[in-house]
Amino acid sequence: MAIVVRLDELLQERRMTLTELAQRIDMTLPNLSILKTGKARAMRFSTLEAICGVLACQPGDLLEFRRDGE
Amino acid sequence: MKHSTTLSATSVTLRVLIVLNWIFGAFIFAMLAISFRAESWTWRALKVGAVAGREGAFAGMRAIMALGIIGIPLGYVVFSRLLKIVESVRTGEPFTRENAGRLRTIAWALLGLQLLHLVVAAIASAVARRGVPLRVGGHLQVGGWLAVLLLFVLAQVFLEGTRMREDLEGTV
């Protein structure tokens, strides 16, 4: 997959669990897990805004573009 | 509530149609079998008098009955697939790849039925020319052909709808 979601690393850096983030951005844990495991097909701006707000990061910190083979 | 009632009524109607379709098939099969065993009785049942050339028309009538029997499984395909689509609407998941496939299958079956109708109409008119009055709707059914086209388009719409639903499900 070309777009890599770096949610796991951001959570580790901030010592926050996925469950805690799910509660703070008012999202279900299964949905957030889909994002974390890179199985999501698309992401709403509202979700991106909420995650960046709680984790105090920029969209570029959460999402990374990798070319195939990188 | 009204939505559910309509679907329930449709579901029951389709189940009845499936049974009636088989009964109709059995009836045509019986008529075909009888036509071989009791020719004079068949003419009386069809209320056809001693018309000149009626014997020659017999083969044509048997062909129509045989084609009618072929139409029975096609009718079953239409009703049974439609029933499954209705059931999927009731469970709240109509936009699936299975339903798109079912609609395409119904379209092919309906196309088959339309072609059968054309052949039957051609045979009936040939039989009628021999002096035996047969009324099996020889005119061109524009609605039927339009339904075939609509079903093929609808199948594609369902496939697109399925893709959109899958995208929505993967959106977080």
User: pLDDT digits over B95-117, tens only?
Assistant: 899 999 999 999 999 999 999 99
Per-residue pLDDT at B104: 97
Q: Sorting pLDDT into bands at 50, 70 and 90, what band is B135?
A: low
Nearest CA in chain B to A42: B171
CA distance B29 to B69: 7
Q: Is the pLDDT of residue B91 over 50?
A: yes
Mean pLDDT of chain B: 87
Cβ proximity of A61 and A9 under 8 Å: no
Closest-CA distance, B162 to chain A, in angstroms, reads 14
Report the distance separating Cα A53 and Cα A60, nearest Å. Answer: 13
* Of B165 and B130, more confident: B165
Q: Are B168 and A34 in contact (CB under 8 A)?
A: no
Preferred mutation among A32, A41, A43, A62 to probe B, highest tally of B CBs within 10 A: A41
ipTM of the complex: 0.75
Give the chain A residue nearest B166 (alpha carbons). Answer: A41
Nearest CA in chain B to A35: B172
Q: Is B170 on the interface with A (CB under 8 A)?
A: yes
Looking at chain B, the number of H-run helices and the number of E-run strands are 5, 0
Helix axes B54-90, B97-129, angle to 10 degrees: 160
**Phi, psi dihedral angles at B30 (to 5 degrees):** -65, -40
- Residues 107..166 of B with a Cβ closer than 8 Å to A: which? 166
Mean pLDDT to the nearest integer, B30-59: 75
> Model's pTM, two decimal places?
0.73
- Residue A64's DSSP bridge partners are A4
Using only the alpha carbons of chain A, give its radius of gyration. 12
* Band (B1; pLDDT cuts 50, 70, 90): very low
Buried b (16+ CB within 10 A) or exposed e, B47-67: ebeeeeebeebbebbbbbbeb
DSSP single-letter state for residue B151: H
B170 CB neighbours in chain A (<8 A) are 34, 39-42
In chain A, which residues have their Cβ closer than 8 Å to the Cβ of B167?
A: 41-42
Rounded to a whole number of angstroms, the distance from the CA of B155 to the nearest CA of chain A is 24
